[in-house]
Amino acid sequence: MVMHSVNVEEAALLMRWVQLPIFTSHVALVSFVFTYLHSGRLLLAWISCGLRMLALILNFTSEQNLFFIEVTGLAQVTVFGDEMISVPYGILNPNYIIGPLSMMALAVFMLDATIATRRHGTETDLFRAKIVAASIVFILFLAPVNLVLLHAGKVYTLYFVGFAFIPMLVGMSYLLGLDVLRASQLSQQLKLKEAALYENNQRMDLAMSAADLSLWEWDIIRDEMWRTDKSRGKFVADSEKIHFEDFLHRLHPDDQESVRHAAKKALASGSDYESEYRQIMPDGSTLWFAGYGRIEYQGKIPVRMRGVTLNVTRRKQAELRIQQKSQKLAHLSRVMQLGEMSGALAHELQQPLAAILGNARAAQHLLEHGRTNIREVREIINDIITDNKHASGIIHHLRQFFKNREIKHETLNLQEVVKEVLILTNSDLLTHRVSVVVLLPAELPLVIGDRVHIQQVLLNLLHNGCEAMADIENADERRLSIFAKDIGGHVQISIADQGHGIPSEHIDSIFEPFFTSKSQGMGLGLNICRNIIHAHGGQIWIDNNGERGTVFHFTLPVCIHE
């Protein structure tokens, strides 16, 4: 603009104000070096900026500007062919030297930074530094040249200085241009990646939604849990952070303990966390969930657990339906079994009835004709009551057997359980002329199970044992033995008969449903026994001893007191 000024005053003013953009450019260059090349000595930066600052101050404090104390005239110079520009000339300001000095300081600073970059800069930094270095060299060349020429009187001003900035600017523009290019490339890549990420997220959302899944994380150290819930029935606020205990309290009260236990187990053993639990919804319905989680460690310390939760309500409901059907089947089988034993059961009930009748008649005799054997009458009455209780006991027990009931887990004393079964089977055993030997150790631990269902299994096995020995001549050999032993964590119960064993071709199918070698019956008995034992968490199997008979074994879990 100076070059196009029309008169002296304008030129002088313009030259004054031009120092301001020069100052800003200077500072800009310094910060450019810092940010772009990531190097540069602070001291040098301050020196050069300080000098430039000084120049600026001098510029505004001197009469006209930094360059001239007074601009006396404008010379018209022809440059680049026919372009006419005005070049001011006049009395040089003695302080003008500050200008170039600060430039040189800047150059030094930039050079130093470039060298530093060569030593420990990145590839890009190095590249940039080279460009910068080139421009610096140019300035370094130009500035003193300009000075020399000035002093020599060949030129009137420092207008070359203007030119000195050009390569710098060119260099900077080139670098910045490259960066812009790169930025746009990166931006494109970013867009692509974003699109891919978006796609991915959509797929995940779909998957989670379809599977009714939600993701969760538990920061173990800080005890904070949060989850993302894309499942269909959203009912928990996203990104809500809660403590583990808070989470437990949201579960169905009956399941809280087992979930806490599962988490503790996972933390203790390092295995994956697995649990199933219910939650009661605000609308009153109950939903089932299955949670799976994996622990992340820092060294040996668990820091985080990440997992998923599935809504398994439908599956659980189906399971429950199957369980109910299975129960019904067991019930049916039980009823049929009792039906088969009805003759024996009638016999069992008729014994106490016969005793009661006989006793009553005897009491009548004793009381007639004024005979007063009160002591014996009292004895008789006591016996009648005892027999009545015995009969009622059998009937009560039968009613339990006839009921359709779900498996109730209670602690059982096997001695009692076996004793009760033997009362029910007493007449059946008599009918088959079979004797029973019971060998249960006195210190046998209590087991967990459902009384009626276990007795159903025993009943079935005993009955089968009787039938197996039906054709054995010798009464002493028609013997059923019941054993039990503690095998650590479980009790193993065995029922042995002295029959002819099970034909080898039947061994594998004996527990299958509808398998029977008898002419009557549906062949479900053993299958249901297996279902019952499995539902108790036990195993059932056979030892086939051929001609020496068969032994059925099953296990039940021992009751552990916590």
Partner 1 sequence: MSDSLATIFIVDDNASVLKAMERMLRTSGLKVVAYASAREFFEQYDPNIPGCLVLDIAMPGMDGLELQKLLIERGETLPIIFLTAHGDVSMSVQALKRGASDFLLKPVDEAELLDAISAALKVDNLQRQNNLELSEIRQRLESLTPRECQVLQLVIAGKLNKQIAAELGMAEKTVKVHREHIKQKLKVRSAPELLKLCEMAGMALPCQLKS
8 A C-beta contact, residue 71 and residue 156: no
CB of 425 to partner 1, least distance (A): 13
Backbone angles phi, psi at 341, to 5 degrees: -95, 10
8 A C-beta contact, residue 229 and residue 214: yes
CB of 378 to partner 1, least distance (A): 13
Question: Other CB atoms closer than 10 Å to residue 211's CB: what's the count?
Answer: 14
Asked if 494 touches partner 1 (CB under 8 A), the answer is no
Backbone angles phi, psi at 229, to 5 degrees: -120, 105
Name the residue among 85, 92, 93, 90 with its Cα closest to residue 6.
85
User: Considering only residues 256, 351, 481, 545, which one is a binding residue for partner 1 as defined by CB under 8 A?
Assistant: 351
CB of 358 to partner 1, least distance (A): 3
By three-state DSSP, how is residue 252 classified? Answer: coil
Asked if 433 touches partner 1 (CB under 8 A), the answer is yes
Residues 390-409 that bind partner 1 (CB under 8 A): 390
User: Considering only residues 1, 97, 281, 354, which one is a binding residue for partner 1 as defined by CB under 8 A?
Assistant: 354
- Residues 6 or more apart whose CB falls under 8 angstroms from that of 441 comprise 484, 485, 486
Among residues 26 and 432, whose Cβ is nearest to partner 1? 432
Please give the biggest Cα pair distance in the chain.
Answer: 171
CB of 343 to partner 1, least distance (A): 7
Backbone angles phi, psi at 276, to 5 degrees: -130, 140
Q: Which stretch binds partner 1 (CB under 8 A): 2-10, 235-243, 354-362, 533-541?
A: 354-362
Among residues 25 and 431, whose Cβ is nearest to partner 1? 431
Asked if 366 touches partner 1 (CB under 8 A), the answer is yes
Q: Which stretch binds partner 1 (CB under 8 A): 108-116, 318-326, 357-365, 515-523?
A: 357-365
Asked if 386 touches partner 1 (CB under 8 A), the answer is yes
Among residues 278 and 390, whose Cβ is nearest to partner 1? 390
> How far, in Å, CA of 158 to CA of 128, rounded?
28
Q: Which stretch binds partner 1 (CB under 8 A): 141-149, 375-383, 448-456, 502-510?
A: 375-383
User: Considering only residues 120, 365, 389, 409, which one is a binding residue for partner 1 as defined by CB under 8 A?
Assistant: 365
DSSP state of 222: T
Name the residue among 553, 430, 544 with its Cα closest to residue 481.
553
Among residues 210 and 346, whose Cβ is nearest to partner 1? 346
DSSP string, 205-227: HHHHHHHTEEEEEEETTTTEEEE
Asked if 430 touches partner 1 (CB under 8 A), the answer is yes
H or E, element range at 144: helix 123-151
Asked if 427 touches partner 1 (CB under 8 A), the answer is yes
User: Considering only residues 56, 356, 412, 421, which one is a binding residue for partner 1 as defined by CB under 8 A?
Assistant: 356
Q: Which stretch binds partner 1 (CB under 8 A): 35-43, 287-295, 361-369, 489-497?
A: 361-369
Given the DSSP bridges, would you call strands 435-439 and 479-486 parallel, antiparallel or unpaired?
parallel
CB of 345 to partner 1, least distance (A): 11
Asked if 358 touches partner 1 (CB under 8 A), the answer is yes
> How far, in Å, CA of 559 to CA of 412, rounded?
9
Question: Other CB atoms closer than 10 Å to residue 185's CB: what's the count?
Answer: 10
**Could you tell me if residue 37 is left (phi over 0), alpha (psi between -120 and 50 degrees) or otherwise beta?**
alpha
Asked if 435 touches partner 1 (CB under 8 A), the answer is yes
Asked if 539 touches partner 1 (CB under 8 A), the answer is no
Name the residue among 136, 167, 126, 121 with its Cα closest to residue 44.
136
CB of 478 to partner 1, least distance (A): 10
CB of 350 to partner 1, least distance (A): 4
Count of chain residues binding partner 1 (CB under 8 A): 29
Q: Which stretch binds partner 1 (CB under 8 A): 12-20, 244-252, 332-340, 428-436?
A: 428-436
> How far, in Å, CA of 28 to CA of 36, rounded?
11
Among residues 90 and 465, whose Cβ is nearest to partner 1? 465
Asked if 336 touches partner 1 (CB under 8 A), the answer is no
**Could you tell me if residue 66 is left (phi over 0), alpha (psi between -120 and 50 degrees) or otherwise beta?**
alpha
User: Considering only residues 173, 188, 285, 350, which one is a binding residue for partner 1 as defined by CB under 8 A?
Assistant: 350
H or E, element range at 224: strand 224-229
**CA distance to 417, 478, 521, 549, per residue, from 340 (Å):** 21, 20, 9, 23
User: Considering only residues 400, 413, 431, 516, which one is a binding residue for partner 1 as defined by CB under 8 A?
Assistant: 431
8 A C-beta contact, residue 174 and residue 131: yes
User: Considering only residues 47, 137, 150, 355, which one is a binding residue for partner 1 as defined by CB under 8 A?
Assistant: 355
User: Considering only residues 112, 179, 276, 383, which one is a binding residue for partner 1 as defined by CB under 8 A?
Assistant: 383
Assigned token pair, 543: 């030892």
Buried b (16+ CB within 10 A) or exposed e, 83-100: eebbbbbbebbebbebbb
Tokens 């189906």, residue?
318
Q: Which stretch binds partner 1 (CB under 8 A): 45-53, 98-106, 429-437, 446-454?
A: 429-437
> How far, in Å, CA of 333 to CA of 513, rounded?
12
Asked if 357 touches partner 1 (CB under 8 A), the answer is yes
Q: Which stretch binds partner 1 (CB under 8 A): 87-95, 132-140, 215-223, 424-432?
A: 424-432
Asked if 362 touches partner 1 (CB under 8 A), the answer is yes
CB of 310 to partner 1, least distance (A): 59
Asked if 361 touches partner 1 (CB under 8 A), the answer is yes
Asked if 475 touches partner 1 (CB under 8 A), the answer is yes
Assigned token pair, 148: 């020399």
Residues forming contacts to partner 1 in the complex (CB under 8 A) are 343, 346-347, 350-359, 361-362, 365-366, 376, 380, 383, 386-387, 390, 427, 430-431, 433, 435, 475
